[in-house]
Amino acid sequence: MDVPILTEVDMVIRLLAGFAAGGIIGFERASRHQVAGLRTHILIALGSTLLMILSIWIPQEFNMLKNGDPGRIAAQVVSGIGFLG
């Protein structure tokens, strides 16, 4: 499995996309007066995005492209979010 090469611009774009997605979902929840609102969803989305960026960047940075597996961290992110609720 080939790990995509990330540049700093790619990382910033992905973080902004995570911020926007969390903001949209959080705004919808806040407008309906749900417990988890805008701030909570933005923080969860940014944290998940950052973990996924790191799962791609760390093997790239430390020359472990052959045995890096971003899917492992993705599975743990999904498990953690499922645990939260």
pLDDT recorded at residue 2: 61
Helix segments in the chain, DSSP class H: 8-31, 38-61, 70-84
CA dist 2 and 41 (Å) reads 31
pLDDT recorded at residue 70: 76
pLDDT recorded at residue 83: 86
pLDDT recorded at residue 20: 97
Contacts of 37 (CB under 8 A, 6+ apart): 26, 29, 30
pLDDT, averaged per 10 consecutive residues of the chain (85 residues), comes to 77 96 95 90 94 87 73 85 80
Domain ranges of the chain: 8-84
CA dist 78 and 55 (Å) reads 14
